Amino acid sequence: MKVRFWGVRGSIPAPGPHTIRYGGNTTCIEVRSDDGALLIFDAGTGIFPLAQELLKQMPVQASIYMTHTHWDHIQGLPFFTPLYIPGNSIRIHGGYDVVAGRGIEQVMEVQLQYSYFPVREAEMKAGIEYRTLRVGETVHVGDASVTPLLLNHPVVNFGYRVDCNGKSVFFTGDHEPWPNIYDPADEGYAEFQQMIDQQQAQLDQALAGLDIMIADCSYTAAEYPTRIGWGHGTLEGSIAWASRIGVKTLVCTHHEPTRSDDALEQAFAAALEHTGHASPAAGGLEILLAREGMELTL
Q: Which residues does the chain have with pLDDT short of 50?
A: none
Closest CA to 159 of 214, 121, 78, 107: 214
Closest CA to 50 of 293, 295, 296: 293
Q: Which domains does the chain have, with CATH numbers?
A: 2-297 (3.60.15.10)
Tens digit of pLDDT for each residue in 251-288?
999 999 999 999 999 999 999 999 988 667 666 899 99
CA distances from 270 to 185, 252, 277 (A): 33, 14, 10
What per-residue confidence (pLDDT) applies to 283? Answer: 67
The model's pTM? 0.95
What per-residue confidence (pLDDT) applies to 227? Answer: 95
